[in-house]
Chain A
Amino acid sequence: MDKSPQMSSPAPAPMARPDWLGLLARSRPAHLAALMPDPLPDHHLLRAPEIGAVMLRGRAGATGAPFNLGEMTVTRCSLRLSCGTVGHGYVQGRDRSHALRAAALDALLQTAEGAALQTRILTLLAAAEAEARQTRAAKAAATKVEFFTLVRGEDA
């Protein structure tokens, strides 16, 4: 298998389920809604969108014993498509339609339509996220200190 990075048009590797669930959790609700407009496919709600809190934890000294840092709002939803496929959505924030859409997409991505949806939706969400992260990293990088040593008198 050719793993050369110089490949002219590398087909993006399909995203695994934990990765797409994470991407959907972090995506902007409006962006996902624009890429996946109503109507959603026929479904039966197993768990109607529910807003709740998840307790976040840190570790003392970054690597030691865990402690409770505070909560974060999360909305979750579970549904079953008419074909029987079950989808789950866990998204950050309190947007019920975001969680519903994430669950519907999670189910669809497991069906035969999945490959097409990966290209049509996931790659665009991932690209938007990567661009936002890259811009922020580039602004931070511009504030990196370049130390230099002054020439001392006796060296001159």
Chain B
Amino acid sequence: MYVAVKGGERAIDNAHAFLAEERRGDMAVAEIGTDQIREQLRLAVNRVMAEGSLYDPDLAALAIKQARGDLIEAVFLIRAYRTTLPRLGHATPVETAQMAVTRRISATFKDAPGGQILGPTFDYTHRLLDFTLMANGEAPNAPQALTKASPVPHITTFLGRDGLIEAAQPDDTPPPDLTREPMELPASRATRLQAITRGDEGFILSLAYSTQRGYGRTHAFVGELRIGMVEVEMDIPELGFAICIGEVELTECETVNQFKGSKTEPPQFTRGYGLTFGQNERKSIAMSLVDRALRWKELGEDFTGAPAQDEEFVLMHADNVQATGFLEHIKLPHYVDFQSELELIRKLRAEAMAQNEAAE
């Protein structure tokens, strides 16, 4: 018999009040401002924007504060908020070749035109705790150098000129949007890229690492990694022309991968692609490896059973809001489900014991 129960309302209210107090922490310590989070925890903000799939640093900072630093909870808050926004349209694809780069490196060409620009990177730091940050450190001051506006062309265009790498042919097929229509399998590359760029960084990182260790190996080199600001353009119907509606920081990674060649294609390099909101290079590199691994069918490679080659496995498990929702729901009341399980096991035990007694 199912008995409807009520109650717990007071307990829930008090739990929320307790949560709010714990979020604030020791009142003797100054409260953290969302502007401080936005400016000083920028990589956390970037991750929340990328996985929340909404570029708005102020909102991401607020979500991080509200979630007490739980970034997946913050992503959840951003995803919930974005569903309340009317969709004003879509922008024209960003021109990453026009990016104002703050970081741009190539692991394949030392003398790449445009140069190797290290930018604000953790690379080459010693990973030693800096105790001056605990005290009141000096205001840091980055040196500046004279610049002349010079183009920073994509590395792959040099390989493409000699036909040494597959072309990324211009194409204006409108991409499917998995926030609007359910994802269908097999998925297009456009759907895969959308799912991976908003997917969980840890999951995408582990999949990419698994390909490096041999589960769907693709022999990736980072042809180029670039981070910087890109203008966003959109056609405005009431104006009748396109205007810039803002600018966003993006991280782009292009990998250069081995390829044997086929009956129709001479041997040439292939490519994987990663593009994420904000300075987010671990995610962007991982994205390009997973993108390349998922292209096995299109490139006529063998399916080795590796998780990173398995489109359904990757796409259905990449979203951390879906994953955490399903995982964490099992802690919520399942009293009735469990009651039926309990009755079943009592019945089975009683039958088994009766049989044992009869046999003796």
Contact = CB atoms under 8 A, between A and B. Distances in A.
A37 interface: no
A74 interface: yes
Nearest to B247: A26
Interface in B62-101: 82, 85-94, 96-97, 100-101
A52 interface: yes
B275 interface: yes
Nearest to B94: A58
Bin chain B's interface residue count: 35 or more
Contact of B232 (A56, A135, A141, A143): A56
Interface residues of A, number: 52
B175 A147 contact: no
A65 B238 contact: no
A67 B100 contact: no
B205 interface: no
A69 interface: yes
B91 A54 contact: yes
B86 A66 contact: no
B115 interface: yes
A137 B228 CA distance: 10
Interface stretch (B22-30, B144-152, B325-333): B144-152
Contact of B147 (A51, A70, A134): A134
Given A53-B54, A76-B88, A142-B142, A137 B94 contact: no
B100 A66 contact: no
A21 interface: yes
A140 B177 contact: no
Interface in B274-296: 275, 277, 291
B175 A68 contact: yes
* SS of B interface (majority): mixed
B238 A88 contact: yes
30 contacts: A25-B245, A26-B231, A50-B88, A53-B85, A56-B55, A57-B93, A60-B291, A62-B168, A62-B254, A63-B169, A64-B169, A64-B170, A64-B171, A65-B171, A70-B50, A70-B197, A71-B82, A72-B55, A72-B56, A73-B55, A73-B59, A88-B239, A93-B58, A94-B56, A138-B145, A138-B147, A140-B119, A143-B117, A144-B145, A147-B111
Interface stretch (B129-137, B187-195, B307-315, B352-360): B187-195
Given A62-B96, A137-B147, A144-B117, A22 B231 contact: yes
Contacts of B56: 72-73, 93-94
Interface of A: 18, 21-22, 25-26, 50-74, 76, 78, 88, 90-94, 133-145, 147
A135 B102 CA distance: 11
A88 B194 contact: no
B234 to A, nearest CB: 6
Contact of A65 (B59, B120, B175): B175
Contact of A140 (B59, B102, B193, B275): B102
Interface string B203-230: 0000000000000000000000000110
Contacts of A54: 87-91, 232, 234, 245
B176 to A, nearest CB: 8
Interface of B: 49-50, 53-56, 58-59, 82, 85-94, 96-97, 100-103, 110-111, 115-120, 142-147, 154, 156, 168-179, 189-191, 193-194, 197-198, 228-229, 231-232, 234, 236, 238-239, 241-248, 250, 252, 254, 271, 273, 275, 277, 291
Given A66-B173, A67-B175, A67-B193, A133 B156 contact: no
A139 B247 contact: no
Nearest to B85: A53
B144 A141 contact: yes
B180 to A, nearest CB: 9
B24 to A, nearest CB: 25
Give 6 nearest A-B pairs by CB, closest first: A61-B168, A92-B246, A22-B244, A64-B168, A138-B144, A67-B190
Contacts of A68: 90, 175-179, 190, 194
Given A55-B87, A64-B171, 4 more contacts: A56-B248, A63-B168, A70-B198, A145-B116
A60 B194 CA distance: 10
A66 B168 contact: no
Contacts of B88: 50, 52-54, 74, 76
Contact of A71 (B85, B117, B234, B250): B85
Contact of B94 (A69, A133, A136): A69
Given A140-B101, A142-B145, A143-B117, A58 B193 contact: yes
A21 to B, nearest CB: 4
